[in-house]
Structure 1
């Protein structure tokens, strides 16, 4: 009987925080079969700093296996005497191709990798480390954003000074106030929270990292601070905001997540001075991200075997992305109804590499592909003869109603016009298409409001999908796109669950104008990448209140700090200022561009040749060109041809070196 192999693992990690450990996860049962919760723990070396090692047995029948290193921390909810510490995924290696061990070839005397020391996050000439997503039901990630006119002091001695802010988490069960000082009582051996990281979006380096001992400078209407903490006991977590003037702490404020209203919003907390009296207040925006509640129904979501969250293959050819399929049809004179199966497939037929579409939810929590938050519903008046069929609009008035207030059945039953027809504008509009098809339009592919699942099943599988998540925001004039919307976690979970069930091997990129939705998607899954949609400086649209979407430079910093794939920039601002492109390139972000300027072939050429962007999102894709194949079809064909030629010319059935390569 053949003896088992012995595989050695040894890795150096330059950054290991308190309570953190290194595990290895991989294709072998002993390595958890890509399940991070079943990963194999390494032992910290006693004679080599920040080095971890282990030896595992590998069956002799195994000739090759793959693996990744991960950084984890154990947090203790301390709910009762029997509660077990919970493993939280802190950082992990996110190369598209995991590490490979050809153990049948590499082993000597049955031992493999004996004298190899790996570098955490570096492999095959690449370095890529990414924050972990939420693995546990009890786990949450809390974000605090301090920006704008966040500070107000009514005590004169505190006004008109520059302050440094620091956010410190603590467990309310183990802290108390003694005079002017905070006294930390004896705590469990493991905390229920992680350190609090900081990202400053208005400075050169927006990447999350440790805070300074005396905090970071915050000036009203100048600085934008984002704080982030993981916890497994949200109900017992509190935050102490410390105010420093220079190196001296001069005031405190407290925020308790358990007292917040919902998982997303703003709270105002008093600022307490050295005399223990209120001297002002601070406004804090917050977001609490929870685990995707549908993840356990699809175990592949947590698998570390494959990840595309940070993966993008650079190509010489700029990608062409069909906007809503063949383009906006309700405000422009385009023959195909936008966001329908037909329009998306027509763009694919004309050679689109990706098609962009908009997804939102109905009242009964069904996904629908539609752009605007509202429609106009035709309602018959009292003077309309009840027994006489009427044409659309005859003896009927149009009333605005939100998609979220209609069930899917109602969307398929009632007659709708586009919101642009409000106030009688339909008579002057050159666009003939209504939202609801006429009785003569019988092709179901032209029907509006397809579900996300229908798109995933029926749109050409060779074309990539840019799924824009529609989530309403406040506008700069104080109005809101759609009040009373769904709670963010619930909203995102439903969409992600439908994608997980029906996407298969499709190429998918998520995007959204709401930056917190982008952050949330990255914390709930890792398979699909996210790109931040930004309006930037504009004279064409009402800007959003959120400065992250109002300024493309800050948008690029936000995307870099939150480890998004890239940014969908608005052409209007980039044609005036190219600095956002430079920031994106500095941090390796993928650069897409959208906007009406792209209707011009000259402008498209400018972005391709002068700005070297990765993709353009525009209307009427391929309409005035010879039909072509998208880049993925061409690449697949070339790979198949190359493989066929190599097979034909090969005299040996042995595997080629190219096939063994771990680099695509």
Structure 2
């Protein structure tokens, strides 16, 4: 038509702004193996004259075939060294990537599933002199994750004398079984610049197992709805798997409990039960206690609470289907971290790929039609979610340099900048930094560093819990702020029916993406129900 301006689509230009962004897809048949130099102490030296990792060492991964010969058939090796602005996966150099103690280096290997490839680690000095080698067999890479204890020998064919040992964590990412993913619904990095700073209700309307709690218990539908009624844009919730694989909402890895009928007067009378160790039906029956001001306080169990929306341990399905579609959800996947001392936050025996797939399947089948993102303190969970799907953004939670808790072992969790680097390396949507790290003069600079790389930043923590702090984090550039008591601290400008939540969500293309996925999931679900019913 005369006078009509024709838009020409450009590859990588999602919104017509002229800015292009091209990202990796998701796994379909191959697996990803990551070998991670992400701890302070990786090597134990036995012969310092022959192997000295205190100086710079070049490290290279070499795939091996069944005859232990070098091969590149079907195997693609990349590596990322985390450094601000340069944390990209890239091909290996001829003699490997430089490593010194304190660096974070991740080898990212794409190979056919099931994994049958062995690997050699080759070590050179900066002047390219070979100084050591180690071998990883396919059999050693069992399960979804683990820690390899490798022997480094001299780089000659028949060498057997061990000159050093290497402690090397690994991760295996398997493809998500759902085959409905396609390029029509690629929103893993979709975050329009028009969206304002978002207000996120922490566990709904905030923590409740404290001295002065809100009326609604945390992580219940009642608490989520309270935040919604106060015009929160999103709520944050915490997801665990029960022993029978049901995704449930609760913050801690377990709860203090006691047998029915037992009178509790002292903390020592309580037992601690992990959610992973009990079925969902059993979980609903358990008595639940919290320690407040040094004394045990009992709260209603799921089965004794008559008000459905106030029941503890709602399932993820209950929440996704029960909350208004205009309320966004930050789904935090809980996975215990190992402290720098070596002690784990809790013990976990559920397979990590299984855990992630169960949560992801639940979200895809029941969570469409609303803005939703994933987050986790576990860097590997974030990597899994990024490469298993392309529908939802993934954010790396970090506690950073805090005085409130002891540090984690994984160096990627220690600082905001390293979290930003990790997000860049594995193409996450952004990070969720701890507010304590952003209270200094460097706070605005750190958030600007994230924005410079196209990342979003969701700030969280007790230091967000006041109107003044909520305003402060908006002013220094946070994309979203997650805090307790939206009923007390949400900005007054939000308390109108034309809230940004209703406007920005309806105008976003996430809704269209979700509706498309919902139609596909419903059709697939009908077929599944027919098959199950015919058994």
Q: Whole-Å Cα distance in 2 between the matches of residues 66 and 258 of structure 1? A: 51
Match of 2:57 in 1: 164
Match of 1:586 in 2: 452
Q: Whole-Å Cα distance in 2 between the matches of residues 624 and 291 of structure 1? A: 42
Residue 257 (structure 1) aligned with residue 138 (structure 2): yes
Structure 1 residue 344, shift from structure 2 partner:
0.6
Match of 1:409 in 2: 281
Q: Mean alpha-carbon deviation: is it higher for 479-488 or for 517-526?
A: 479-488
Contact 1:379-1:397 within 8 A present in 2 as well: no
Q: Whole-Å Cα distance in 1 between the matches of residues 47 and 474 of structure 2? A: 55
Match of 1:55 in 2: none
Q: Whole-Å Cα distance in 2 between the matches of residues 540 and 270 of structure 1? A: 37
SS in 2 for 1:346: helix
Match of 1:329 in 2: 208
Contact 1:358-1:371 within 8 A present in 2 as well: yes
> Deviation per CA, 1:132-160, whole angstroms, max 9, x where unpaired?
21112xx2100011142212332232244
Contact 2:258-2:271 within 8 A present in 1 as well: yes
Match of 2:122 in 1: 242
> Deviation per CA, 1:549-574, whole angstroms, max 9, x where unpaired?
12211111111111111111111111
Counterpart selection for 1:143 from 34, 53, 60: 34
**CA RMSD of superposed structures (Å):** 2.8
Match of 2:75 in 1: 193
**What TM-score, normalized by structure 2, do the two folds share?**
0.85
Contact 2:188-2:390 within 8 A present in 1 as well: yes
Structure 2 unaligned segments of length 5 or more: list them.
1-5, 509-535
> Deviation per CA, 1:291-349, whole angstroms, max 9, x where unpaired?
123x14xx2xx211121101101236311000011000112522110111111111111
Match of 2:399 in 1: 535
SS in 1 for 2:400: coil
Contact 1:350-1:628 within 8 A present in 2 as well: no
Residue 155 (structure 1) aligned with residue 47 (structure 2): yes
Match of 1:288 in 2: 172
> Deviation per CA, 1:218-270, whole angstroms, max 9, x where unpaired?
112x2111000111155431222111112233322211232234221111211
Residue 488 (structure 1) aligned with residue 352 (structure 2): yes
> Deviation per CA, 1:377-409, whole angstroms, max 9, x where unpaired?
12257xx6xxxxx8x879994211111112111
Contact 2:220-2:314 within 8 A present in 1 as well: yes
Structure 1 residue 475, shift from structure 2 partner:
2.0
Counterpart selection for 1:343 from 188, 213, 223: 223
Match of 2:501 in 1: 632
Q: Whole-Å Cα distance in 2 between the matches of residues 153 and 480 of structure 1? A: 26
SS in 1 for 2:363: helix
Match of 1:38 in 2: none
Match of 2:376 in 1: 512
Structure 1 residue 615, shift from structure 2 partner:
0.7
Counterpart selection for 1:426 from 295, 306, 327: 295
SS in 2 for 1:379: coil
Match of 1:602 in 2: 468
Question: Which aligned runs of 4 or more in structure 1 are off by greater than 6 angstroms?
Answer: 64-69, 392-396, 636-639
Match of 2:436 in 1: 572
Aligned length: 490
Match of 1:304 in 2: 183
Contact 1:192-1:233 within 8 A present in 2 as well: no
- Cα 1:191–1:497 change in 2 (3 A) is same
1:454-473 matches, within 5 Å, as 454-473=318-337
Q: Which has the higher strand share?
A: 1
Contact 1:341-1:455 within 8 A present in 2 as well: yes
Structure 1 residue 467, shift from structure 2 partner:
0.4
SS in 2 for 1:623: helix
Match of 1:443 in 2: 307
Structure 1 unaligned segments of length 5 or more: list them.
1-63, 70-92, 98-122, 177-183, 385-389, 640-664
> Deviation per CA, 1:139-186, whole angstroms, max 9, x where unpaired?
21000111422123322322446343333342423544xxxxxxx5xx
**What TM-score, normalized by structure 1, do the two folds share?**
0.69
Structure 1 residue 592, shift from structure 2 partner:
1.1
Higher relative contact order (CA 8 A, sep 6+): 2
Match of 2:24 in 1: 131
Residue 278 (structure 1) aligned with residue 171 (structure 2): no
Q: Whole-Å Cα distance in 2 between the matches of residues 175 and 593 of structure 1? A: 48
Structure 1 residue 541, shift from structure 2 partner:
2.2
Structure 1 residue 375, shift from structure 2 partner:
0.6
- Cα 1:238–1:163 change in 2 (3 A) is farther
- Cα 1:65–1:169 change in 2 (3 A) is farther
> Deviation per CA, 1:511-566, whole angstroms, max 9, x where unpaired?
00011000000111010010111000111123322221122111111111111111
Contact 1:340-1:446 within 8 A present in 2 as well: yes
Q: Whole-Å Cα distance in 2 between the matches of residues 150 and 395 of structure 1? A: 40
